[in-house]
Chain A
Amino acid sequence: GAVVSQHPSWVICKSGTSVKIECRSLDFQATTMFWYRQFPKQSLMLMATSNEGSKATYEQGVEKDKFLINHASLTLSTLTVTSAHPEDSSFYICSARGTGGEAFFGQGTRLTVV
């Protein structure tokens, strides 16, 4: 199957700082990528849809100024958590859709804000 690489796999940052997470499709081009958030023992919640060359579409309740998404190329989308606070601590996962409609996910990023 197609490969989606997410980096870093974990990060610890101080409250008030910003953190950038990268999501790359390694062997296919992805015009659309998705960012999800997962709380412990819960399922994935879609945060936003990232479209190459245009603004991201955010789900209701997700602060677009806090979670900045950039999809500058067909193989890279980034999520920046700005002015992070402890309540932003979570597991963030990206996905990209292959040509057959199958969704492929990155390894996830564990963010801890202290």
Chain B
Amino acid sequence: KQEVTQIPAALSVPEGENLVLNCSFTDSAIYNLQWFRQDPGKGLTSLLLIQSSQREQTSGRLNASLDKSSGRSTLYIAASQPGDSATYLCAVTTDSWGKLQFGAGTQVVVTP
């Protein structure tokens, strides 16, 4: 059974520092991996999607890498801002229908 783990569970950094969020999964047979952001009491906002054949994806200050063979993905957020404070979730797609298996998330606080 696929298990997704996110480390650390919580992270607090001063504004301007770079953020590094880790995600690991136990079964490398994935279709893709997706990073999401969730604000308190809200739904999920898709940040980056990495297909299983890709090594990384970039969008603005965000960069995500994928090493499928070792079961790891890392989300980098450059020059963090207070508005980046949220919970970040990674999820892997485990079947052709698009079923997602989520990690528990990393709660990020960026202090001014």
Q: Which 4 A-B pairs have the closest CB atoms?
A: A97-B98, A105-B44, A108-B43, A107-B43
A91 to B38, CA, bound (A): 13
Residues from 2 to 57 in B contacting A, C-beta threshold 8 Å: 31-32, 34, 36, 41-46, 49, 51
- Interface of chain A: mostly helix, strand, loop or mixed: strand
B81 to chain A: closest CB distance in Å?
A: 21
- Whether the pair B98, A104 counts as a contact (CB closer than 8 A) is no
List residues 66-112 of chain B with CB under 8 A from any CB of chain A.
Answer: 89, 91, 93, 97-105
- Contact check, A103 vs B97: say whether CB atoms are below 8 A apart: no
13 A-B contact pairs sorted by A residue (CB < 8 Å): A34-B99, A43-B103, A44-B89, A44-B91, A44-B100, A46-B101, A97-B98, A102-B34, A103-B98, A103-B100, A105-B44, A105-B45, A105-B46
Interface residues of A in 83-114 (CB under 8 A from B): 91, 93, 95, 97, 100-108, 110
Contact across chains for A103 and B43 when beta carbons are under 8 A apart: no
Residue of B34, B44, B101 ringed by the most chain A CB atoms within 10 A: B44
The CA of A93 and the CA of B46, in the complex, are separated in Å by 14
**Given contact pairs A43-B89, A100-B49, A101-B31, A93 touches B100 in the complex (Cβ within 8 A):** no
* B98 with A110: CB separation less than 8 A: no
Question: Separation in Å of the B24 CB from the closest CB of chain A?
Answer: 14
Instruction: Specify which chain A residues have a CB less than 8 angstroms from the CB of B51 in the assembled complex.
Output: 101
Q: Would A95 and B100 count as touching, CB distance under 8 A?
A: yes
Chain B residues in 8 Å Cβ range of A106: 43
Are the C-beta atoms of A101 and B98 separated by less than 8 Å? Answer: yes
Distance from A17 Cβ to chain B, minimum over Cβ atoms (Å): 23
Q: A1 and B46: CB pair below 8 A?
A: yes
